[in-house]
Structures are given as structure tokens and as C-alpha cells.
């Protein structure tokens, strides 16, 4: 008898589990008057919110639900507080903290100093192809998640309650709802029971199928929600993730900051109450600026060759990213490091196995001559010159080697133009390389164009 009732209970439990139902999350999925639940904008159980104070939680819960529900939500949020969480958290900040320095220039100089102290092999002058290959290997071996940068990533939350400077959309939470949380509940609960990369991708696929995106602002919210999924996945599993979700949502947040800096919030459909809460008439442009570069950098960490994010040539070349590194900084030391790594990635990227090596320094090598844009600080300038000269030599040796072996080239004219800029810069800093440059240009001229 006892056994049968036990079996009945077990069957009921399994059935409940197979429907992905877990009654303890009911309050989390309960919709407020606007049809929004906590799960519409936060992770499946709010793991990322566990570090917020009781007062912050109560204040935010009161916006959506009466007290009885709030008590149940609090029950869900109780649990181990993730090590890194709360008000000041800047999720996924590489190396755990922003490099010190009051201005972008100071922090860019600190970045170059870090390269010198942690990776001195990157500054050892390259003399030949083996030297170029050693540089390439060294730059590829750097863990981008651990390399501190001077660019502050966005905080997890920005609530105007904490002060005027916190009235910003430059944070990780979606401002508007883009999907019905009931429709995603089964996948979310399956993921919560077994937080594997596979189940995360499953949530994302379903989300993309059910999301309704009818404005640029909604597009931003959807991208933010997807970034949040990756972050909370790391909190939950306790390990860095290299899951690249379709279209690279980190990059998409940066793209929003690039595309709409001059837009009128009304035309991109920011709801009136959000525009007011976020002081958009006063600081809209600053908020978009804060949404640009940090998310481009994060997007790049998840796709360092920039070949898996989008088919757009501007993205693959890193055009807007380079522009933002100089315009929103300047972070020119970060820029040459990023480009060196991105170029080094080419030959190990399977997508590139049959594609000739291509020099591509985007805006780093156009417009205003590089000597005029170098760091002003003497120590930083010396490191910048060594790193840049090595980066150019790596690219030239790799290109020359490829041309010698295959006699095929991509975009020969733009590459030759860039090589002329390299020649000028290397001459200007007293480190000319006429032999390597002339022989590479000659091979480039006679190569078959792909």
C-alpha cells in the first residue's frame, strides 16, 4: 500500500517535471498588470539579483506586485549570493577590474604598461618569419577574459534611485518586454534543472522564435536579455563560458549605441515613462556612448576574429569598433592590441583555411597619420611603437609567406595602400623595413586576385 502511494507520488512528480513545471517559481513567472513577470527581464530565478540589498529588492518588487507575491519572490531570490554581484558589479569585466586611471588616456597608458609587464615577448623586435610566428603565437595565447582593460563595462543595473548618474539605460537589463515569459517557461526550467550550454542554446532558439521586436528600442532589450543569459549562465555554472549566441548579442548592443546616437528617443520608440526615468532629454547621447565601446569589446572577446558575428564587411574589418576605440576614448593602445589579435586569429580560423592572409588595419591606418595619434606619454609611446612595429611586421611576414606559397591575394590594392602607410610610420619612428615591404608589394602586385 505504502509502496503504491509512493509510486503514485513519484509518477506525479515525474509528470510535473516533464512539463517543466516547478511551482516554486510561480511567483517569478506571475504577470503584473502590464503582463510582465520578473522572468520577462531577469534570469529564470533571478540568480544575478541575489547580491542586491533587501531595500533594493523590496523597492523593485513593489513596482510590480502586492506584498503577498513579493514575499514569495523573496523566497525564490534567497540562496547563495554569487561572489560577484550587486550594485557596483560590472559583469564580465575582463580581469575582474577596470585598469586604474582618471581618464581614457590614463587607462590606455596603463593598458600598454600591462602589456609590457605581463607579455614582454610581444615587444621583442621581430626579425624574420619565425619571429613573426612566435609573436602570433604569443598574442593568440592571451586569455582575453583575464586581460584587464581600461574600458569600464556597464554595471549590471542602473537605477535612478541611487543617484542622478545612475539614470541610464547603459546596463544589462531589458527596459521593455519582447516575449511572453509563459511561452519560454518550459525551456527556462529545463535549463535551470540542467544548466548545460546545450540547454542555454535551446532557450535562445526558442526565444528568437517567439520574440516580437517592433522597434529599435525593443531590439536593444532583446539583445540585452540574451547577454544577461550568458552572464547568469556563468554565475550559475561557476565557469567562464565561450558560448557565442547567434549574431553575437554583445555586439548587437554596441551596434545600437553606434546606430542611434543622434536619434530622437521618440522615433526609436522609447516609452515615455522610460525616457523620463532615464533623463533622456539631458543625457541620451552620453548613455548611447556608454553602450557602444564596452559592448563592442565584449562582443569581440566572444568572437576575436570577428568572422562569426555578421556578414557585414564593416563588422569583419572592425571599422566601427576602431572608430569607437578612438572616438570614445582615445584607446589607441587597446586598438593596436585588438587588431593584432584579430589579424593573428585569421590563420587559425577554420573559415579562413583556404582564404589568403589579408592585412586589414581598418581606420588605424587611414585618415590622420598614425604618428599624430600616438600616446603622448613617453613611456606609453615607447611601448606603443614597439607593439605597433611588431604587429606590422607580423602581418607583413605572414602575408609575404602566404603570397610566396600560393601566389593568391585578397583586395590587393587596399592592402598595398595600407602597406604604404606602414612604411611611412616605420620610417617616422626610426625603424624602417624597406626590404620586407618592397618584396611583399612586389609579390602582391603579381598575385592572382581571389
Residue 267 CB, nearest approach to ligand HEC (Å) = 21
Is residue 44 within the footprint of ligand HEC (CB under 6 A)? no
Is residue 106 within the footprint of ligand HEC (CB under 6 A)? no
Residue 117 CB, nearest approach to ligand HEC (Å) = 36
Residue 65 CB, nearest approach to ligand HEC (Å) = 6
Sign of the Cα torsion 353, 359, 360, 361 reads positive
Q: Annotate 243-261 with DSSP letters as a single string.
A: ---TT-HHHHHHHHHHH-T
Residue 74 CB, nearest approach to ligand HEC (Å) = 9
- Residues contacting 52, CB < 8 A, separation 6+: 60, 85, 86, 87, 157
Stretch in the footprint of ligand HEC (CB under 6 A) among 33-41, 344-352, 390-398, 421-429: 33-41
Is residue 399 within the footprint of ligand HEC (CB under 6 A)? no
Q: CA 98, CA 92: separation in Å to the nearest integer?
A: 11
Site size toward ligand HEC (CB under 6 A) is 23
Residue 161 CB, nearest approach to ligand HEC (Å) = 6
Q: CA 251, CA 296: separation in Å to the nearest integer?
A: 5
Q: CA 272, CA 207: separation in Å to the nearest integer?
A: 26
Nearer to ligand HEC, 56 or 180 (CB): 56
- Per-residue contact string for residues 136-175; x = within reach of ligand HEC by CB under 6 A: ---------------------xxx-----------x-xxx
Q: CA 17, CA 379: separation in Å to the nearest integer?
A: 61
Q: What angle do CA 446, 448, 449 make, to 5 degrees?
A: 115
Q: Which of 44, 61, 322, 399 binds ligand HEC (CB under 6 A)?
A: 61
Q: Annotate 71-82 with DSSP letters as a single string.
A: HHHHHHH-SPPP
Is residue 223 within the footprint of ligand HEC (CB under 6 A)? no
Q: CA 57, CA 53: separation in Å to the nearest integer?
A: 6
Is residue 333 within the footprint of ligand HEC (CB under 6 A)? no
Is residue 38 within the footprint of ligand HEC (CB under 6 A)? yes
Is residue 51 within the footprint of ligand HEC (CB under 6 A)? no
Is residue 253 within the footprint of ligand HEC (CB under 6 A)? no
Is residue 89 within the footprint of ligand HEC (CB under 6 A)? no
Nearer to ligand HEC, 158 or 187 (CB): 158
Calculate the CA dihedral of residues 344, 350, 352, 354 and round it to 10 degrees: 130
Is residue 42 within the footprint of ligand HEC (CB under 6 A)? yes
Q: Which of 57, 81, 140, 416 binds ligand HEC (CB under 6 A)?
A: 57
Query: Can you say how many angstroms the Cα of residue 115 is from the centroid of all Cα atoms in its chain?
Result: 21
State which of positions 168-197 bind ligand HEC (CB under 6 A). 171, 173-177
Nearer to ligand HEC, 109 or 171 (CB): 171
Q: Are 296 and 321 in contact (CB under 8 A)?
A: yes
Is residue 73 within the footprint of ligand HEC (CB under 6 A)? yes
Is residue 230 within the footprint of ligand HEC (CB under 6 A)? no
Pairing of strands 448-449, 408-409: parallel
Residue 174 CB, nearest approach to ligand HEC (Å) = 5
List, as own/partner pairs, every contact residues 156-164 make where C-beta atoms lie below 8 angstroms and the sequence separation is at least 24, other chains included. Answer: 156/48, 156/85, 156/86, 156/89, 156/90, 156/91, 156/231, 157/52, 157/87, 159/56, 159/60, 160/277, 160/278, 160/279, 161/56, 161/59, 162/87, 164/279
Nearer to ligand HEC, 32 or 427 (CB): 32
Picking from 398, 388, 399, the residue whose alpha carbon sits closest to that of residue 339 is 388
Q: CA 402, CA 397: separation in Å to the nearest integer?
A: 8
Residue 56 CB, nearest approach to ligand HEC (Å) = 4
Is residue 310 within the footprint of ligand HEC (CB under 6 A)? no
Is residue 132 within the footprint of ligand HEC (CB under 6 A)? no
Q: Which of 25, 44, 47, 49 binds ligand HEC (CB under 6 A)?
A: 49
Instruction: Give 134: exposed, middle or buried? Use CB within 10 Å, 0-12, 13-18, 19+.
Output: middle
Q: CA 121, CA 387: separation in Å to the nearest integer?
A: 10
Stretch in the footprint of ligand HEC (CB under 6 A) among 48-56, 132-140, 210-218, 391-399: 48-56
Is residue 215 within the footprint of ligand HEC (CB under 6 A)? no
Q: Which of 36, 85, 406, 439 binds ligand HEC (CB under 6 A)?
A: 36
Q: CA 385, CA 427: separation in Å to the nearest integer?
A: 12
Residue 436 CB, nearest approach to ligand HEC (Å) = 53
Residue 234 CB, nearest approach to ligand HEC (Å) = 19
Q: Which of 50, 64, 334, 385 binds ligand HEC (CB under 6 A)?
A: 64
Question: At what angle are helices 249-259 and 216-237 packed, to 10 degrees?
Answer: 150
- For ligand HEC, the binding residues (CB under 6 A) are 36, 38, 40-42, 49, 52, 56-57, 60-61, 64-65, 73, 157-159, 171, 173-177
Amino acid at each position: 500500500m505504502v509502496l503504491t502511494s509512493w509510486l503514485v507520488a513519484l509518477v506525479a512528480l515525474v509528470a510535473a517535471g516533464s512539463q517543466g513545471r516547478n511551482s516554486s517559481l510561480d511567483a517569478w513567472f506571475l504577470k503584473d498588470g502590464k503582463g510582465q513577470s520578473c522572468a520577462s527581464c531577469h534570469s529564470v530565478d533571478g540568480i544575478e539579483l541575489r547580491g542586491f540589498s533587501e531595500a533594493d529588492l523590496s523597492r523593485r518588487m513593489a513596482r510590480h506586485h502586492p506584498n503577498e507575491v513579493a514575499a514569495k519572490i523573496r523566497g525564490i531570490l534567497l540562496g547563495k549570493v554569487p561572489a560577484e554581484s550587486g550594485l557596483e558589479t560590472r559583469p564580465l569585466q575582463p580581469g575582474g577590474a577596470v585598469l586604474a586611471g582618471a581618464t581614457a588616456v590614463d587607462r590606455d597608458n596603463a593598458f600598454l604598461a600591462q602589456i609590457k609587464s605581463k607579455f614582454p615577448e610581444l615587444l621583442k623586435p621581430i626579425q624574420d618569419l619565425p619571429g613573426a610566428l612566435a609573436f602570433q603565437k604569443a598574442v593568440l595565447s592571451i586569455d582575453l577574459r583575464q586581460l584587464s582593460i581600461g574600458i569600464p563595462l556597464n554595471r549590471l543595473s542602473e537605477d535612478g534611485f541611487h543617484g542622478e548618474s545612475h539614470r541610464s539605460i547603459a546596463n544589462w537589463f531589458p527596459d521593455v518586454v519582447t516575449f511572453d515569459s509563459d511561452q519560454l517557461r518550459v525551456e527556462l526550467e529545463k535549463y535551470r534543472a540542467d544548466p548545460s550550454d546545450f540547454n542555454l542554446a535551446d532557450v535562445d532558439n526558442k526565444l528568437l522564435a517567439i520574440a516580437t521586436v517592433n522597434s529599435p528600442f525593443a531590439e536593444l532589450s532583446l539583445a540585452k536579455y540574451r547577454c544577461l543569459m550568458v552572464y547568469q549562465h556563468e554565475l550559475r555554472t561557476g565557469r567562464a563560458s565561450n558560448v557565442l549566441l547567434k549574431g553575437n548579442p554583445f555586439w548587437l548592443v554596441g551596434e545600437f549605441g553606434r546606430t542611434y546616437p543622434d536619434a530622437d528617443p521618440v522615433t526609436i520608440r522609447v516609452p515615455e515613462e522610460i525616457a523620463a526615468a532615464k533623463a533622456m532629454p539631458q543625457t541620451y547621447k552620453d548613455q548611447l556612448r556608454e553602450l557602444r565601446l564596452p559592448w563592442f569589446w565584449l562582443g569581440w572577446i566572444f568572437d576575436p576574429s570577428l568572422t562569426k558575428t555578421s556578414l557585414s564587411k564593416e563588422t569583419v574589418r572592425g571599422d566601427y569598433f576602431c572608430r569607437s576605440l578612438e572616438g570614445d576614448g582615445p584607446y589607441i593602445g587597446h586598438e593596436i592590441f585588438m587588431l593584432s589579435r584579430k589579424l593573428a586569429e585569421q590563420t587559425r580560423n577554420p573559415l579562413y583555411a583556404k582564404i589568403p592572409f589579408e592585412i586589414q588595419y581598418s581606420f588605424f591606418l587611414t585618415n590622420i597619420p598614425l604618428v599624430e595619434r600616438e600616446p603622448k606619454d613617453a613611456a606609453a609611446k615607447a611601448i606603443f611603437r614597439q607593439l605597433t612595429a611588431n604587429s606590422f611586421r607580423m602581418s607583413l611576414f605572414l602575408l609575404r609567406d602566404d603570397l610566396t606559397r600560393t601566389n593568391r591575394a585578397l583586395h590587393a590594392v587596399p592592402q598595398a595602400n595600407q602597406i604604404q602607410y606602414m612604411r611611412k610610420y616605420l620610417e617616422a619612428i626610426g625603424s624602417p623595413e624597406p626590404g620586407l615591404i618592397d618584396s611583399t608589394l612586389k609579390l602582391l602586385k603579381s598575385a592572382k586576385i581571389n
